[in-house]
Amino acid sequence: MERFGQFYLDNEKDIVVDLFREGAELRYVLRTPNHHSGNLIENLARLCSLPISEDAEGLKVIRGSVPSYVNGQNRELYIFRLGNTKVANIWPDGSVELKASIPAISKTLMSQTKNYRLDENRTIVKTYIRSEAKFHTDLHTHMNANLSPDILIALGICHQIRYPLYYIKKLGLSVSESQREVLEEQRAMVALRFADSALTGKYLDRRIDDNTFLNFAELILGNLPNAAENIVRIRNSLTIPKDGQAVFADLEKVYLYRYVFTKGVSSPDRIPLFRLEHLPDGDILRLCAKILADREDPDYRNNTLFQDKLLWIAASNT
């Protein structure tokens, strides 16, 4: 079966639905790749009376088929349901119209217990509510925690920030052979700067790796075969741990990963962004397209990363 598309059941992109089509048949594989305890997918499967199987890597997944329908306008579509809840309309061109999602609080409870007790109606929630019921608050967080990982990644690509070798190693990101050569050459030059440093061993290695950079746009767009997996790893580094309560050390680590983007420095080695259309993540592609479209407006054409960040914070809070 050929790959047809992908969508997520939550804002944090922890619950992934991969779509595959052969002829008129549409099938799905539901995964929770960021949750390793197995609680989340087991509770979701139990809640919706769905069988669990394993993928090629031994991870638990839910597999099933998506039935096709013809609506009142004689348009064919597929309707994806979980239990008795209509979750998404899937159109033949691959576009997905979400009708319901799983909020963060339900997902957290499912991931932290083996005996999840909330019912389907309090777990899978319609994605629209009456406007007068919208929750309003003056609650705010540290500015560098406001933006979603996808917006940070898009800003990093469009502003072509420097991304340290230390984080490439720490997150296990894949680089192309040409990128590896550039990093090795640059690291050797950086090492000369620290030849007389009092630091030794892993502390010296850390300092050198922290000062060896690759253009973030080049990291993603210059290595498209590994872009999807790299984006997933980077996205996860920008959010708090998934399967348990976060302690201060966890939050501190997230801020360190976020600082690369929120206090980003533009790389001197710029690249053309013509490969942007090949980004494997549709949400980040749309965000990048919006950032670049804003540059056609004289009011935003010369925005710095900080100014763009403030624009997106304002947009996220309206």
The DSSP call for residue 276 is G
Whether 264 and 301 share a structural domain? yes
Q: For residue 170, what are the domain limits?
A: 143-316
- pLDDT number for residue 141: 58
Whether 26 and 71 share a structural domain? yes
Residue 127 located in a structural domain: no
pLDDT tens digits, 272-309 = 998 888 999 989 999 999 999 999 999 888 899 999 98
Quote the percentage of the chain above a pLDDT of 90.
Answer: 64
User: Pick from 118, 152, 173: which residue ends a domain?
Assistant: 118
Instruction: Check: CB of residue 76 under 8 Å from CB of residue 68.
Output: yes
Residue 209 located in a structural domain: yes
Residue 303 located in a structural domain: yes
Residue 138 located in a structural domain: no
User: Pick from 61, 83, 118: which residue ends a domain?
Assistant: 118
Whether 245 and 296 share a structural domain? yes
Whether 169 and 25 share a structural domain? no
User: Pick from 101, 118, 135: which residue ends a domain?
Assistant: 118
86, β-bridge pairs? 81
Question: For 79-83, 99-103, 114-118, which range has the lowest pLDDT when averaged over its residues?
Answer: 114-118
- pLDDT number for residue 139: 46
Whether 256 and 305 share a structural domain? yes
Question: For 144-148, 208-212, 303-307, which range has the lowest pLDDT when averaged over its residues?
Answer: 144-148
Whether 96 and 166 share a structural domain? no
Residue 68's φ and ψ, nearest 5 degrees, are -100, 150
Compute CA distances 102 → 10, 127, 208, whole Å.
Answer: 5, 9, 42
Calculate mean pLDDT across residues 64-86: 94
Where residue 254 falls among pLDDT bands split at 50, 70, 90? confident
How far out from the chain centre does Cα 6 lie? 13
- pLDDT number for residue 178: 96
Whether 176 and 278 share a structural domain? yes
Whether 90 and 155 share a structural domain? no
Whether 231 and 288 share a structural domain? yes
Residue 137 located in a structural domain: no
Whether 74 and 162 share a structural domain? no
Instruction: Check: CB of residue 47 under 8 Å from CB of residue 39.
Output: no
pLDDT tens digits, 20-65 = 999 989 999 999 998 888 899 999 999 999 999 999 888 999 999 9
Question: For 121-130, 169-178, 222-231, which range has the lowest pLDDT when averaged over its residues?
Answer: 121-130
Residue 154 located in a structural domain: yes
200 pLDDT above the threshold of 80 = yes
The percent helix, strand, coil of the chain (3-state, each to 5) is 45, 20, 35
Whether 257 and 210 share a structural domain? yes
Overall domain count for the chain:
2
Residue 135 located in a structural domain: no
Whether 182 and 291 share a structural domain? yes
